[in-house]
C-alpha cells in the first residue's frame, strides 16, 4: 500500500465540505472588500524566497522543498504566498503606474518541517495582498476583513498587534538592541547569540527563560518608534477600539518573515493546540523594492485553512436531490432511468442505483445519501409507464408518468 507522504494529508468527506466552505466564505468577503483573484505558480526560483522571506528565517534556512530541476534551475515549492504575488506584481509592471491593486489567493504551501497538530508539510492558506496604499486605515481594513471572515465561519480568536517600525526608526533601534545584547552574548542561548548577528529582533521573542530575564531592561521597540510610526500605531489602536475589536499589544510579536515592517498582527485561537496562530500578516512596504520593483507600500495577511477546519461549523445540510432505482430486471429499464436522470439533473442532484432490489433497500439507500426524493420503478409502475416517488422529508408519496415527472 502506498501512503501519502509524511506531513501531507488527504482532505475528504466532511473535512472537504468544510475546506470548500471556508474558501468560499473567505472569497466572498474578500471580493466585497475589492480584492481580485490571483493564481501564481507553486514552484518559483529559490532566490525569490531568499530575498523576500529572508535568509535568516527558519523557513528559508531549513524548511524549504528546494531542488535542482532538469534545466539546472535552483527552484522551490513555495513556503508562503506573499513572495509569489509580489513577484507577479512586479513582473506585470503594476508598480509602474499609480493605482491600488488588491489580490486574494488560496492554495497549497510547502514547508519541510516535523509534522504535528496544526503543522503539515503541505498545507493551505487563504491570503490577501493590498498594494499601493500606505495609509494605516488599510491595515485596519485588512484586520476588519479577517474579523468578518472568522465571524462568518463562527470562529473565536484573540488579536495581537505590534509595530515593527520603518526604515527610519528600525535601523537605529536595531543598533541599540545590538549594543544592548552584545555584552550579554555569552549568557544568551545558542540561538540568540547567533541571532545578534543575523536577526537581533528575533531575540525578543525567544522562549528561553534566561534570555527573557536578560531582556528585561532591553530597549523596547514600541518606545523607539519614529513620530510617524508612533502615530500610525496609535491610530490603529484607536480604530480597533472604536470598532470594538478586542486586541492586545504584544511587543514580542516579531513574526518570522523578514519582510514585515510597521503593523504586524496575528489572530490566535486557544482551541487548536500549540500551533495557535490561525491568521497572520502585516505591512511590508519595502518588499516590492527588494524584488526589483519601484517603492510601493503594501499590506497583507494569510490564514491557515487546516488550522481552522476543526473550528468551522458547516451550515446544517438538508436533504437534496433524487435517488433513482428499480425493483426489476426488465429490458430497457436502465435506459429509462438514465434518460430520466439526465433530464432531472438540469435541476438537481441525481444518483442511480443499478442493482434491482427491494423497495425497503432502496429507501435505505436513498436515506443514506441524504436524498430528498426516493424514486423507484416497480412491476406495477413499469407496466403503466409510471414511477413511484416518495418525499423523504414530508413522507408524501405519489406516482407519475415517467416522461412527465
Which positions touch RNA (CB under 7 A)? 3, 6-7, 57-59, 80, 111, 113-120, 123, 125, 191, 202, 205-207, 254-257, 266-267, 273-280, 302-304, 306-307, 319, 327, 357-361, 363-368, 376, 378-381, 388, 390, 392-393, 395, 397
Of the two residues 133 and 266, which places its CB atom closer to RNA in the complex? Answer: 266
For the CB of residue 127, give the shortest distance to RNA in the complex, in Å: 8
Distance CA 4, CA 115 (A): 13
Please report how close the Cβ of residue 70 comes to RNA at its closest, in angstroms.
Answer: 26
Cβ closer to RNA: 169 or 327? 327
Alpha helices for 188-261 (secondary structure H)? 190-198, 209-214, 227-242
Question: Which is closer to RNA, CB of 83 or CB of 94?
Answer: 83
Of 173 and 259, CB closest to RNA: 259
Starting at the earlier edge strand, list the strands of the sheet with 36-37.
36-37, 101-110, 122-131, 298-304, 277-283, 261-268, 158-163, 247-249
Contact 155, 42 (CB under 8 A): no
Query: DSSP string covering 262-312, please?
Result: EEEEEEE-SSS-S--EEEEEEE-TTHHHHTT-----EEEEEEEHHHHHTT-
What residues have CB less than 8 Å from 132, skipping those under 6 apart?
98, 99, 100, 101, 296, 297, 298
| Complex with RNA: residue 94 or 202, whichever CB lies closer | 202
Q: Which helix (H) or strand (E) holds 363?
A: helix 359-368
DSSP 259: T
> How many residues can be counted in the chain?
405
- Residue closer to RNA by CB (options 168, 380) is 380
Shortest CB 316 distance to RNA, Å: 13
* 260: its cell numbers: 514585515
Alpha helices in 3-135 (DSSP H): 13-32, 46-49, 58-62, 82-91
- Residue 165 or residue 280: which is nearer to RNA going by CB? 280
CB of 186 to RNA, least distance (A): 19
Amino acid at each position: 500500500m502506498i501512503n501519502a507522504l509524511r506531513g501531507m494529508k488527504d482532505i475528504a468527506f466532511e473535512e472537504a465540505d468544510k475546506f470548500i466552505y471556508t474558501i468560499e466564505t473567505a472569497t466572498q468577503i474578500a471580493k466585497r472588500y475589492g480584492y481580485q483573484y490571483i493564481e501564481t505558480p507553486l514552484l518559483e526560483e529559490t532566490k525569490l524566497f531568499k530575498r523576500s522571506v529572508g535568509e535568516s528565517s527558519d523557513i528559508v534556512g531549513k524548511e524549504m522543498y528546494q531542488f535542482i530541476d532538469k534545466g539546472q534551475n535552483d527552484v522551490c515549492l513555495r513556503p508562503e504566498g506573499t513572495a509569489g504575488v509580489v513577484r507577479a506584481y512586479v513582473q506585470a509592471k503594476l508598480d509602474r503606474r499609480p493605482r491600488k491593486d488588491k489580490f486574494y489567493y488560496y492554495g497549497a504551501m510547502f514547508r519541510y518541517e516535523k509534522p504535528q497538530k496544526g503543522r503539515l508539510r503541505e498545507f493551505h492558506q487563504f491570503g490577501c495582498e493590498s498594494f499601493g496604499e500606505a495609509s494605516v486605515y488599510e491595515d485596519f481594513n485588512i484586520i476588519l476583513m479577517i474579523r468578518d471572515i472568522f465571524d462568518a465561519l463562527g470562529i473565536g480568536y484573540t488579536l495581537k498587534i505590534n509595530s515593527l517600525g520603518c526604515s527610519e526608526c528600525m535601523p537605529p533601534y536595531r543598533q541599540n538592541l545590538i549594543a544592548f545584547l552584545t555584552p550579554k552574548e555569552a549568557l544568551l542561548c545558542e540561538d540568540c547569540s547567533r541571532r545578534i548577528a543575523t536577526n537581533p529582533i528575533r531575540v525578543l521573542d525567544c522562549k528561553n527563560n534566561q534570555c527573557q530575564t536578560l531582556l528585561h531592561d532591553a530597549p523596547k521597540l514600541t518606545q523607539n518608534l519614529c513620530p510617524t510610526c508612533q502615530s500610525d500605531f496609535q491610530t490603529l489602536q484607536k480604530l480597533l477600539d472604536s470598532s470594538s475589536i478586542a486586541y492586545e499589544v504584544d511587543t514580542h510579536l516579531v513574526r518570522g518573515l523578514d519582510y514585515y515592517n510597521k503593523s504586524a498582527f496575528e489572530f490566535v485561537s486557544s482551541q487548536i493546540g500549540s500551533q495557535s496562530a490561525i491568521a497572520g500578516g502585516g505591512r511590508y512596504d519595502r518588499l516590492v523594492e527588494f524584488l526589483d520593483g519601484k517603492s510601493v507600500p503594501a499590506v497583507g495577511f494569510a490564514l491557515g485553512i487546516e488550522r481552522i477546519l476543526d473550528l468551522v461549523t458547516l451550515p446544517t445540510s438538508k436533504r437534496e436531490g433524487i435517488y433513482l432505482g428499480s425493483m426489476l430486471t426488465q429490458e430497457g429499464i436502465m435506459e429509462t432511468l438514465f434518460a430520466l436522470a439526465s433530464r432531472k439533473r438540469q435541476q438537481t442532484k441525481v444518483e442511480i442505483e443499478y442493482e434491482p432490489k427491494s423497495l425497503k433497500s432502496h429507501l435505505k439507500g436513498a436515506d443514506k445519501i441524504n436524498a430528498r426524493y426516493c424514486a423507484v420503478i416497480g412491476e406495477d409502475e413499469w407496466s403503466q409507464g409510471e414511477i413511484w416517488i416518495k418525499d423523504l422529508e414530508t413522507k408524501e408519496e405519489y406516482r407519475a408518468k415517467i416522461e412527465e415527472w
